[in-house]
Amino acid sequence: MSFHVVPFVLCFVSAGGKHLCSSTHMLAVAAYRDANETSMIQRVPAENKSLKQRRNWVHKKAEDTGFETSSMDLFSLSFVLHELPQQATRDVIAEAARVLRPGGVFVMCDNNPLSAVIQNLPPVIFTLMKSTEPHSDEYFSFNMEQALRDAGFTQVHTEIMDPRHRIVLATR
């Protein structure tokens, strides 16, 4: 299972704290960017220039983080859940509900099952896509918003990110 939080987190150059990823490749990218962030540092106010000391990259599974209950403000997933069977997705959502503080935010960006672009792919292209995405059928039939509500999240909201992708936000 892959949990790629790095691209999303790096959008917030002043973000400190713990960042979890199960991809050793993305952890290496994060370490490299932290060590070589001169391009980002130039845009960051002086008081926020100690990012290397404030970020803590952790190699763990999204469904079993080991973090304390109610200890996080943000649980983000970037193009992860389409890679998972439905039960694993439920397990990740349950872990997010466990580790988020009251008022904490769950955010995910991923494929949008309702996208006209995805729904209207030629059968050959759709079959080719599914050949590299074994859990696509489960993802496309999974009601993410309802699963979040079932796990106790409120203010569940979906935004279209681009013609093929969505962002789902929810509050604990």
Q: Average pLDDT for consecutive 10-residue bins of the chain (172 residues)?
A: 40 58 80 68 52 68 92 89 95 96 94 91 86 89 97 96 94 96
What is the rounded distance in angstroms from the CA atom of residue 172 to the CA atom of residue 160? 22
Q: pTM of the entire structure?
A: 0.79
Residue type, 126: F
At 163, list the tokens.
């013609």
Q: Cα–chain-centroid distance for residue 83?
A: 12
Measured CA to CA in angstroms, residue 157 lies from 88, 102, 144, 146 at distances of 21, 17, 10, 11
Question: 3-class SS at 30?
Answer: helix
What is the rounded distance in angstroms from the CA atom of residue 75 to the CA atom of residue 105? 6
What is the rounded distance in angstroms from the CA atom of residue 30 to the CA atom of residue 119? 34
Q: Which residue's structure tokens are 């990740």?
A: 92
What is the rounded distance in angstroms from the CA atom of residue 94 to the CA atom of residue 148? 9
Closest listed residue to residue 117, CA positions, set 166, 169, 158, 167: 166
